[in-house]
Structure 1
Amino acid sequence: MNVLYFTSREILPLDSGDAVRANNICKNLKEMGNNIFLVYFGGEPDNPSELFNICNDYKAIKFPSYLDTIPGRIYKTALAFFPAQHLPTPEVIRQVESEIVEFGQKNNVDVLQINSPRAPGWVTIELDTFTKVIDFGDSFSLQFKRDMNSSQSIVEYLNNFIKYVWMKNLEEKMISAFDGSVVVSNQDANALRNVASGGDISVIKNGVDTVKFMPDNKLRGSDSEYDIVFHGNLDFPPNKKAVEYILQDVYPQIVNKRPNTKFLIVGPNPPMELQTEQVNNVEFTGYVDDIVKTISNAKIALLPMVSGSGIKNKILEAMALEIPVVSNPLGVEALSDNAVNQISVGNDANDLANRSLSLLDDRCKRHKIGEQSRQVMIDEYSWSEVSEEFESYYNELHCE
């Protein structure tokens, strides 16, 4: 099958959840014998051979230069209040649609898939040339609804309310305009069914690359340089809120009982206000080239969430690396029962702190949980299985 995969940004480097999902799906679909044609917003890659590992051909679409003018920058600043990266003029939309159709017809494309509705969604609404699938990943209206409920001020509430209404309307449009819609969990699917009844919404979970995320025994155990790790893109609001929660409510309780505990926070774009938190033995790395080596140098992963939706890649990655995970009900809600059974789930900050301390003091327990966690990832969360589900879904929709 010939698949045109359209994403809102470059999928290399793997510095976000949607980039990880897009990269692995394209790579595995190609290895299964499908032809993958990638279209993305961005510039030409420094090393095109890396893209040809995951696709047969690609087309980079650069956003119009007006966004770099003073009016364009004001426009982009205004859009910061909305869950969208770009909203070009109708003329630009028609131009992009024309390029997609031309590229798709040139390669005899059967299925057009886009990942994430935030930027490319508006482009593909009118494209009826191909069978169309949108991979929402998470339900963003569900995320913003939760953010509304946890807002700390009227201003924050109104900001989240605007985002919620905007995304709810966009999700409804997408579901009705596309032949099929995909999300990663039943919770996200139920949220979208409440947004638009009657749409074809399927659940295809996230996966983890268990070859890349291979545990390094030299970095495991009592010799680990750090005790606790959190990793994720820190300009993604749910990750930022999670780190704020840990630094303010959970970690102080841990260091109160275990003063020399070291906490490593890994991920690009750490906000300055987080780095100025007055907490001992906390280190921010920013972006790292080798995420596997960096997070493997910790005894446990502390990964609770206080907002957001969907499956958390960070939890799957830690489990694949045999790093015991401590989280909360929101963090694990979309995982399988077998996966949740390997995670120490705390209901509040005090519970999370005590569970972290218990694991830090028991190397044998950490080792046992780590091995069992990795086996669940191998058995239930392989990207090859995820890609097979996408291939079956394409065939089902394309033959209708």
Structure 2
Amino acid sequence: MSVPILYIASRPFIPAAGGRENMIFQSLQFLENQHKVSVVIFKGKNELVDLQRYYARFPKFRFHLLDLPTAPNWILEWIITARPLPLQVAMYLSRSGKRLIRSIIDDQKCKLVIADMLRTSMLFQTKDCISVVELDDLLSVRYLHNIRASVGNRLLGTYEDRMPAFAAKIANRFSRTVLRYERWAISRMERNSATRHNAVVLVSHAEAALFKQMTGADNVYAVPPTTKIRKAPDRLLPSPTDRINLMFFGNMHTTANRQSLRYVLESVLPALTHLGVDYRFHAIGRCPPELIARYQRPDVFFTGFLDNPDDLFDSMHIHIAPMFGGTGIKTKILESLARGIPTITTADGVIGMSVESGRELFICADANEIALRCVDLARDANLYRLLSKASARFASEQFNFDINRNRYLDILRTCLAAPVAKTAPVLGGAQ
């Protein structure tokens, strides 16, 4: 049965520059031709969004752009709530945003609201409609790793450009203190989300099971990232006289990806050079200028964001993607597997995936082992072909689009069959 649905996106998602954007896009693909969908998209005040591209891809949807509130606005709203909210949630609070969302719910008679992450989940009255919140992962777990690892000082990641310069500077200057507060505050919200909403949807089955154990809730589900990508028909290594094309793929504005990229550049590539491997390394995705200035050299290329990276991916031979900490399923790993690009990662890179090292990909403990596996793939064409075929087969079978679309729609049907919505009020008082 088709019903009016409101989806609240925490950021623009076309083109998809990272894992969260891909998950927003995926959810809307699932809803396409199934329900009457309105979408609110939050953006930075001066951020340009080409709505024509959105309507070209989803012509039956209604799109509404909403600027993130100014600092005085959301700080005032935060004070009014008199609650210890995470900074990332507070920065979405505004009366104008709540009014717009309420008007869409009323005008379209929305039966269900889907909130993209906790930061958009406090902008509507859950007593007025059934609600679902989508989470990439448990941020409290991710932040704990970042605190212990002392990784980087750019706390805000992709949101730095959307915040006032003074606020971003303060957050980065006192990043460890802010991160400790964020972890404490977001942990409280995570634990309450299953009570506040009719369903909590994570991307990893393992993490959904952990969250159920933590909360005792039974309305927690998992819908992993999916892929329609098909393996290039003939992925072969270059001849022994050619250089090997190595890659790392992701949005390097995030803490986890910056940490991974630095590890490749500072530890893995020197180990490869020591072993006599002739390579070109490509960092594919958005990257802070200071990293490019520091690491770019004749055998290291920074491509920036590519709207259509297919041709470049088809020319890559090995994906080196060491991951440290973090939770949820890594979209970058899934995409390279689906394309049949032999992939080398670490144990944290395959969380939530039923894979075996040497069968679908290689799982390594350190930079020297990563370098040795690169040598194995470069010198053994049969191993290369077997890994390429096995990885593409695994991705197409385990992360099938149709299967996971049905799983997602079943979750919504279960919620819509609920007799009542949740009763927790919106933050910020009367509207």
Of stretches 106-115 and 370-379 in structure 1, the one that deviates more from structure 2 is 106-115
Q: Deviations over 1:341-387 (max 9, x none)?
A: 40111122221221122112222321221122111221121222222
Q: How many residues align?
A: 381
Residue 98 (structure 2) pairs with residue 110 (structure 1): no
**Counterpart for residue 280 of structure 2:** 262
Q: 2:31 aligns with which of 5, 8, 29?
A: 29
CA distance in 2, matches of 1:49, 1:273: 31
**Counterpart for residue 78 of structure 1:** none
**Counterpart for residue 79 of structure 1:** none
**Counterpart for residue 321 of structure 1:** 339
Residue 154 (structure 2) pairs with residue 138 (structure 1): no
Of stretches 227-236 and 143-152 in structure 1, the one that deviates more from structure 2 is 143-152
Distance 1:257 1:64, change over 3 A: closer
**Counterpart for residue 295 of structure 1:** 313
AA matched with 1:222 = P
CA distance in 2, matches of 1:340, 1:97: 51
Distance 1:385 1:35, change over 3 A: farther
Q: Percent identity?
A: 17
Cα distance, 1:173 vs structure 2: 3.6
Q: Describe the SS at the equivalent of 1:330.
A: helix
**Counterpart for residue 191 of structure 2:** 172
**Counterpart for residue 221 of structure 1:** 237
Contact (CA 8 Å) 1:325, 1:344: kept in 2 or not?
Answer: yes
Distance 1:368 1:275, change over 3 A: farther
Distance 1:384 1:328, change over 3 A: same
Of stretches 256-265 and 132-141 in structure 1, the one that deviates more from structure 2 is 256-265
Cα distance, 1:192 vs structure 2: 3.4
**Counterpart for residue 412 of structure 2:** 394
Cα distance, 1:269 vs structure 2: 2.6
Structure 2 gaps, min length 5:
77-85, 154-173, 419-431
Distance 1:333 1:88, change over 3 A: closer
TM-score by length of 1: 0.85
Contact (CA 8 Å) 2:247, 2:319: kept in 1 or not?
Answer: yes
Of stretches 317-326 and 283-292 in structure 1, the one that deviates more from structure 2 is 283-292
Distance 1:85 1:167, change over 3 A: closer
**Counterpart for residue 66 of structure 2:** 62
Higher RCO (CA < 8 A, seq sep 6+): 2
Q: Summarize the alignment of residues 1-400 of structure 1 with structure 2, pairs less than 5 Å apart.
A: 1-2=2-3, 3-31=5-33, 33-42=34-43, 45-48=49-52, 50-51=54-55, 53-54=57-58, 56-63=60-67, 66-67=70-71, 84=88, 87-88=91-92, 92=94, 94-117=95-118, 119-124=119-124, 126-151=125-150, 157-193=176-212, 196-198=215-217, 200-210=219-229, 213-215=230-232, 217=234, 220-222=236-238, 226-273=244-291, 275-277=293-295, 281-337=299-355, 341-400=359-418
Distance 1:99 1:8, change over 3 A: same
Of stretches 273-282 and 243-252 in structure 1, the one that deviates more from structure 2 is 273-282
Cα distance, 1:275 vs structure 2: 4.2
CA distance in 2, matches of 1:372, 1:168: 38
Distance 1:321 1:103, change over 3 A: same
Cα distance, 1:274 vs structure 2: 5.4
Contact (CA 8 Å) 1:215, 1:320: kept in 2 or not?
Answer: no
